Structures are given as C-alpha cells and as structure tokens.
Amino acid sequence: MKKSDALLVIDVQNDFCPGGCLAVPEGDGVLGPINRMSGNFQTVAATRDWHPPGHASFAASWEGKKPGDTVSIDGLNQYLWPEHCVRNTRGAQFHENLDTRPFSLVLNKGRSLKLDSYSAFFENDRKTPTGLSGYLGELGATKVYVCGLATDYCVFFTVMDALSLGLAVVLVEDAVRGVDLPSGGLSAALDAMKKAGTDFLPSGKV
C-alpha cells in the first residue's frame, strides 16, 4: 500500500460480535478479511466504543425507555441501545481473534456521558473532533479504507465524514456487516455512500 493509504478498523468489539449484548448479525465475519489486510498498511487506526457506565445512549439510563426508543439530549436526537461497550469490560474489548499487532492508533470514542459517537472523526454533535483527522493529516494520509461494524451506523458515519474532510474513501465490502435497524437502513446507507463517491472493493483486491 502507499504511505498515503490508511486502514480504519471500526468497532470490532466483543459486544458487537455474536454472543455480545448488541451483536451485529455475522459480525465476526469481518475478522478474516481485516486480519488479511491490516499487515499491508503502514497506518492502521482502530476505534472502540468506550462508554462510561450510565451512558446516555443506553435505554436503561432512561426511566420507562427501551432499546429502539429515541430521546432528545441538548437538542440532539439519540437512538437508545442496550447497554454495550462499557469501558474496561470484556464487551468493550476488541474481539480476541482480531489481530491488533498492526494497529498504529487505538481511538476510544463515546467517552462523554451525554454525547454519543458513531463516526471515527466527530462526536454526534457533528462539531467535536475525535482527533483522527489531525492524526491522519500529520501522517500524510489522503485515502482511507474503511471496515468493521456496523455498516449502517459507525462505518457509515465514518465514511461520510471522511469524504466531507476531502479524503478518498474505499469501503471494504466483505469486511463490514450491518444491523439494518430500522429495516431498510442498511441498503439506504450503502446507497448513500456510493452516491457520495465511495469506492467499493472486496478485501482480495485491496
């Protein structure tokens, strides 16, 4: 790979894989493609949801609410999830079969109690940066290959933000899996990424 190419590995954590409390269907199917690719990149940045206990995205943090409900927090709509990826728990750790040796950066996101973070680049207020853009810029990265979980949430927002920041983006299509919540969201996310200028490639051609 070129020095200007970076691999972004999004949220391949125990809670998002089979057996986890917010499992993405066939989420562990991304492991093989990611492990085969990652050693070819000089820059590999991996993200993790790293929520404090009682995070605002948890339905259990709101009286009378259940997963799938929405609430307003400081004017932002928040979709509510089961409790997941609580920092320093097993569920928040990378999947044990994910090869982390090539990772040059691990970025923990969603750390603020009242602010969620889907994108690897910005918190959900759409204005608070995570620092990833600066990191990639300092290294001269101009193109990112995106993989991980879940296609229609954290992967989607990461892709769209990368494009808005002027980066070329490739979605590694066999190294992502989606949740399709609500129904139809997965196909809509894929269509939106394509229309925005994202290239789609299988891992074997990366």
Query: pLDDT digit string (tens) for 1-43?
Result: 889 999 999 999 999 999 999 999 999 999 999 999 999 999 9
| Residue 103 belongs to some domain of the structure | yes
| Residue 68 belongs to some domain of the structure | no
| Residue 181 belongs to some domain of the structure | yes
In the chain, the percentage of residues whose pLDDT exceeds 70 is 100
Q: Can you give the pLDDT at residue 86? A: 98
Q: Can you give the pLDDT at residue 181? A: 85
Query: pLDDT digit string (tens) for 40-57?
Result: 999 999 999 999 999 999
Q: Which string of b and e fits 123-143 if b means at least 16 CB within 10 Å?
A: bbeeeeebebbebbeebebeb
| Residue 98 belongs to some domain of the structure | yes
In the chain, the percentage of residues whose pLDDT exceeds 90 is 96
Query: pLDDT digit string (tens) for 165-200?
Result: 999 999 999 999 999 988 999 999 999 999 999 999
Is the pLDDT reported for residue 124 higher than 90? yes
| Residue 65 belongs to some domain of the structure | no
Q: Which amino acid is at 8?
A: L
Q: Can you give the pLDDT at residue 167? A: 98
Q: Can you give the pLDDT at residue 164? A: 97
| Residue 69 belongs to some domain of the structure | no
| Residue 189 belongs to some domain of the structure | yes
Q: Can you give the pLDDT at residue 182? A: 86
Q: Can you give the pLDDT at residue 1? A: 81
* Main-chain phi, psi angles of 100, to 5 degrees: -90, -5
Considering the entire predicted model, what is its pTM? Answer: 0.96
- Which residues make Cβ contacts (< 8 Å) with residue 50, sequence separation at least 6? 85, 87, 92, 108, 109, 110, 111
Q: Which string of b and e fits 48-77 if b means at least 16 CB within 10 Å?
A: bbbbeeebbbbbebeeeeeeeeeeebeeee
* Main-chain phi, psi angles of 151, to 5 degrees: -55, -45
Is the pLDDT reported for residue 103 higher than 90? yes
Is the pLDDT reported for residue 69 higher than 90? yes
Residue 121 structural domain? 5-52+86-205
| Residue 174 belongs to some domain of the structure | yes
Catalytic site positions: 11, 109, 154
Domains contained in the chain, number: 1
Residue 163: CATH number of its domain:
3.40.50.850
Q: 31 is written with which tokens?
A: 């492991």
Residue 74 confidence class, pLDDT cut points 50, 70, 90: confident
